[in-house]
Amino acid sequence: MSDGTSWVGATAKQISRAVRRGDVSATQVIADTIEQIAVSDPSLDAFRVVRAGEALSEAEKVDDQEDLANLPLAGVPVAVKENTAVAGLPTWDGSAAARKPIAEQDHEVVRRLRGAGAIVVGVTRMPEMGLWGVTDDQEAATRNPWDRDRTPGGSSGGSAAAVAAGLVPIAQGNDGLGSIRIPAACCGLVGLKPGRGVIPAELGTNDWFGFAENGVLTTTVADAVLGFSVLAGRDPVKLVEPGKLRVGVSTRSPVVGVRLDDPNRGAVATVAKLLTQAGHDTVTAEPRYPTALGLRVLATWFAAAYRESQGLDISKLQPRTRQHIRLGKWTSRTGLVRQAHRDAWREKSIQFFADKNVDVLLTPALASAPPPAEQYSSGSWRHNMAVNMRYAPYAAPWNVAGLPAIVFPVGIRPDGLPLAVQIVGPPDSELLLLSIAGLLEVANPWQRHAFG
């Protein structure tokens, strides 16, 4: 709890435990949350819509249940990314022009959150069609709570801003080319992209050719474990400290010509040192990112936009999106977008761990500080591409491979923004990645919220 009376800033585990014990009602928790969103969100623009009345009504129903023992998220306020169906609301997908009709039923991950006792307080903003690592549209540019002149990243930028500001302890997001991990890094959060097939991943009509995965953003590893377990349909587990690991360390950028700045390089070195002090081995292990991989990632990124645009009035979309769609129409007709290519990179990525004899791979999360918060939606496609590729090149290869990857905070940059690293693992290593993050959380505690 942030001030001893309000539940704003409390963790999901703290809230659910208190609600189950009867120490606080779900209705009171949600009332505190709605009040704080009304105060804080006008300067952040994290939310597209706040479900104030509906959320309070749903909290009352949780309070009326006789047995709360089996609700791991009892009374916990959560936010849902606006490209994920919430019954009774349109699915905006980042702009009014891309908006889908009112959803008749919840997406499966929303259904699982509600089934665990969580209360959806609103849906959060994202860039149009989830295409960008910055979050804005013609109405607003979403702001980073650590520095409102900076972006919270994208495409799950609204979700990250809401959690970093303490408005909700857990927010759902999805990650097609880094869209959970990039905002987590920008906002000092824990963000896990699960491996392929672990959590239901369908996003309306567009699955991003198998790149996209659903997950959560949180301020603690314990909440990340709780959210992951609920979305994966598993019983919550208690993490155990990992046995001795051999950790590969890489700072090579997947994008040629991108410079890694000193704070992010230092974050990798800090984590490598902490792991060594904890008894694990660290070795240099640089993946080889083929030039063809980059071209195929770009081609598939474009093609995903083209696929998602079917049925929309393209003339009403943003300039950057229209150019993506034009390129996607072309790449869809070439041989660059093929499942065989994606399968080959997945096999090569899995083999990397065996060839280098490493259990996991440690990399930077970002190459530089989050870009300024601007109306990128009205800018040129070329400018948007340059901004995105320069600051966040490290996430996308692992979407293509379908491997789990986690981002978590390490410290603070000299400019006051959070620092983070990424750890990638082989298939089915989600709990191992979470346990490593938990080890680092104890060894190197981070500031949970932007407000201290």
Residue 7, in any domain of the structure: yes
Query: Do residues 171 and 80 make contact, with C-beta atoms less than 8 angstroms apart?
Result: yes
pLDDT, position 202: 74
Amino acid at 446: W
| Per-residue pLDDT tens digits for 8-37 | 999 999 999 999 999 999 999 999 999 999
Distances (CA, A) of 347 to 197, 355, 431: 16, 12, 21
Distance CA 142, CA 137 (A): 9
Query: Do residues 342 and 400 make contact, with C-beta atoms less than 8 angstroms apart?
Result: yes
Amino acid at 28: Q
pLDDT, position 2: 42
Catalytic amino acids?
81, 155, 179
- pLDDT greater than 50 at residue 205: no
Residue 294, in any domain of the structure: no
Residue 447, in any domain of the structure: yes
Residue 205, in any domain of the structure: yes
Mean pLDDT of 337-352: 97
Residue 101, domain CATH:
3.90.1300.10
**How, if at all, do strands 405-412 and 119-124 pair?**
unpaired
The whole domain housing 88 covers 1-289+336-452
Domain total for the chain?
Answer: 1
Residue 374, in any domain of the structure: yes
Residue 315, in any domain of the structure: no
Query: Do residues 188 and 200 make contact, with C-beta atoms less than 8 angstroms apart?
Result: no
Smallest CA-to-CA distance from 375 within 55, 171, 6, 128 is with 128
Question: In angstroms, how far apart are the furthest CA atoms of the chain?
Answer: 60
| Per-residue pLDDT tens digits for 260-297 | 999 999 999 999 999 999 999 999 999 999 999 999 99
What region, left, alpha or beta, does residue 93 occupy, with left being phi > 0 and alpha being psi -120 to 50 degrees? left
Cβ neighbours, 10 Å, residue 412: 15
Amino acid at 298: L
Distance CA 237, CA 78 (A): 20
Mean pLDDT in the chain? Answer: 96
| Per-residue pLDDT tens digits for 320-333 | 999 999 999 999 99
| Per-residue pLDDT tens digits for 392-406 | 999 999 999 999 999
| Per-residue pLDDT tens digits for 211-244 | 999 999 999 999 999 999 999 999 988 999 999 9
Smallest CA-to-CA distance from 184 within 212, 148, 222, 224 is with 224
| Per-residue pLDDT tens digits for 74-116 | 999 999 999 999 999 999 999 999 999 999 999 999 999 999 9
Residue 236, in any domain of the structure: yes
Phi and psi at 137, nearest 5°, equal -145, -170
Residue 301, in any domain of the structure: no
